[in-house]
Chains A and B, each alone.
Chain A
Amino acid sequence: GESVGLHLPTLSVQEGDNSIINCAYSNSASDYFIWYKQESGKGPQFIIDIRSNMDKRQGQRVTVLLNKTVKHLSLQIAATQPGDSAVYFCAENVRRNTPLVFGKGTRLSVIA
């Protein structure tokens, strides 16, 4: 079947390099943000989240940066590995008790 990543922007990086995936979010009132990873044939997998009272949060090999001034979210992956190849989505919580709003996604392709 067709890949869910068809027509998506693509980022290609060399194995071992750092990756930066960017996301512009829609609403200045959004107070919670998440990054998901979706591998082929699987559902989106939670990577890391951040609340609007923070501007940086680190996990294992991943860092999320939040710039509320320009409504920009980024995901940094350190020492990118072939297993990081996937489609990455950002999502925001626009209002309390509403579902997340998802971005269209970026395909990360790791070159060995």
Chain B
Amino acid sequence: DVKVTQSSRYLVKRTGEKVFLECVQDMDHENMFWYRQDPGLGLRLIYFSYDVKMKEKGDIPEGYSVSREKKERFSLILESASTNQTSMYLCASRWQTNQPQHFGDGTRLSIL
């Protein structure tokens, strides 16, 4: 089974802090994704990556950056956290297009 692991289930940070969310997958998947999920808004794509050192902006990249130095790891960075970034963050990976995306269990991030 595919395993997508997010480093923290719950995280509390303060406004202005730099926050790192880590995601690791164990199936040698090419593609990785970061979403945030908010009530009434569904899943919104922040950034994605189709290969090591490659990144593409999703629908809501403002205030975020990403890093993919190794194939199995995709990090989401909040450069200066703000309260409107309080949300559930979900990482996903897939082998290639037209294959299922597999999700981690999410990180519930609160910015105070």
Contact = CB atoms under 8 A, between A and B. Distances in A.
Contacts of B103: 36, 43-45
Contact of B98 (A3, A45, A46, A51): A51
B108 A1 contact: yes
Given A51-B98, A99-B45, A43 B90 contact: yes
A93 B96 CA distance: 12
Give the size category of B's interface with A.
Answer: 20 to 34
B102 A46 contact: yes
B74 interface: no
Contacts of B48: 99
A70 B90 CA distance: 31
B40 A7 contact: yes
A1 B58 CA distance: 26
Interface in A4-26: 4-7
A82 to B, nearest CB: 21
**Interface residue tally of chain A, by bracket?**
20 to 34
Contacts of A31: 98
A62 B90 CA distance: 25
A63 B88 CA distance: 30
A99 B96 CA distance: 10
A75 to B, nearest CB: 15
A89 interface: yes
Contacts of B42: 89, 102-105
Contacts of A41: 105
Q: Which 6 A-B pairs have the closest CB atoms?
A: A43-B103, A6-B39, A7-B40, A32-B98, A46-B100, A102-B43
